[in-house]
């Protein structure tokens, strides 16, 4: 078999460099959800972090908005193979929310209004890798995309970015979420193309 050299195909363009294996770029913003869109008024909205000892930290909407916000610009990668580059968000880093939470746990089960769940290692939510976002492209986050607030953890496939996020449960044992229980990969790194269990 002849070996086709890299030069034969030419250099990868800058946007291809941003594309994980098996993905294509889209400029639209598809809406994907496993169920109906929950409508959560900000008056009723709460976010809770519960540690393995049962200690709870809860933020209501004014409390979330009082925290220092960041404006991350990130690429999104959906397991259905679309990627969207340079999306602009506003939100609070998980580092800020977790600052006062004492835990030895390594696993997090994230759950949403409407019942969706997904699991993420705690280390993947820290060190500037994840946010609770409430604005997209300069506007309040639309309900279809998870408003009033969603998790954004862009270095993993987008199913880990729980829309309508409500609760983070810190756990000593890992507990698969909705898609992870349905045969998707437990971790979901787009650069290692971890789409399904066993990838």
Ligand X SMILES: Nc1nc2c(c(=O)[nH]1)N[C@H]1C(S)=C(S)[C@@H](COP(=O)(O)O)O[C@H]1N2
Q: Using CB under 5 A, list all residues that contact Mo ion.
A: 32, 78-79, 159
Compare residues 59 and 136 and give the one whose CB is closer to ligand X.
136
85 binds, among Mo ion, ligand X, none (CB under 5 to 8 A by kind): none
30 binds, among Mo ion, ligand X, none (CB under 5 to 8 A by kind): ligand X
196: its two tokens: 């399904």
Compare residues 34 and 63 and give the one whose CB is closer to ligand X.
34
149 φ/ψ sector (left φ>0, alpha ψ -120 to 50, else beta): beta
CB of 25 to ligand X, least distance (A): 14
CB of 6 to Mo ion, least distance (A): 31
Q: What burial letters (b/e) apply to 135-148, b meaning 16+ CB within 10 Å?
A: bbeeeebeeebbbb
34 binds, among ligand X, Mo ion, none (CB under 5 to 8 A by kind): ligand X
Compare residues 134 and 159 and give the one whose CB is closer to Mo ion.
159
| Number of helices and strands in the chain (H, E) | 5, 11
Compare residues 36 and 54 and give the one whose CB is closer to Mo ion.
36
- How far apart are the C-alpha atoms of 29 and 19, rounded to whole Å? 16
Compare residues 78 and 105 and give the one whose CB is closer to Mo ion.
78
Q: Would you tell me which residues interact with ligand X (CB under 6 A)?
A: 29-34, 78, 112, 114, 116, 145-146, 158-159, 161-164
Cα-based torsion angle of the residue sequence 98, 92, 42, 139 in order, rounded to the nearest 10 degrees: -170
CB of 158 to Mo ion, least distance (A): 5
- How far apart are the C-alpha atoms of 187 and 189, rounded to whole Å? 6
- CB within 8 Å of 99: residues ≥ 6 apart: none
119 binds, among Mo ion, ligand X, none (CB under 5 to 8 A by kind): none
Calculate ∠ Cα 192-196-199, nearest 5°.
Answer: 45
66 binds, among ligand X, Mo ion, none (CB under 5 to 8 A by kind): none
């Amino acid at each position: 078999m002849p070996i086709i050299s890299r030069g034969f195909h030419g250099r990868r363009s800058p946007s291809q460099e941003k594309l994980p294996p098996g993905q294509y770029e889209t400029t639209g913003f598809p809406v994907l959800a496993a169920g109906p869109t929950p409508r959560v008024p900000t008056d009723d909205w709460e976010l809770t972090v519960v540690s393995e000892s049962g200690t709870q930290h809860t933020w209501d909407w004014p409390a979330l908005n009082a925290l220092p916000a960041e404006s991350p610009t990130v690429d999104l990668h959906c397991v259905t193979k679309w990627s969207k580059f340079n999306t602009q968000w506003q939100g609070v880093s998980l580092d800020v929310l977790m600052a006062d939470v004492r835990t030895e746990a390594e696993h997090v089960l994230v759950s949403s209004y409407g019942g969706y769940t997904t699991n993420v290692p705690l280390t993947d939510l820290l060190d500037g890798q994840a946010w609770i976002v409430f604005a997209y492209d300069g506007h309040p986050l639309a309900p279809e995309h998870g408003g009033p607030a969603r998790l954004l953890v862009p270095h993993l496939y987008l199913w880990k970015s729980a829309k309508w996020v409500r609760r983070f449960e810190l756990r000593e044992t890992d507990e698969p979420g909705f898609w992870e229980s349905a045969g998707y990969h437990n971790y979901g790194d787009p650069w290692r193309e971890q789409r399904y269990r066993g990838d």
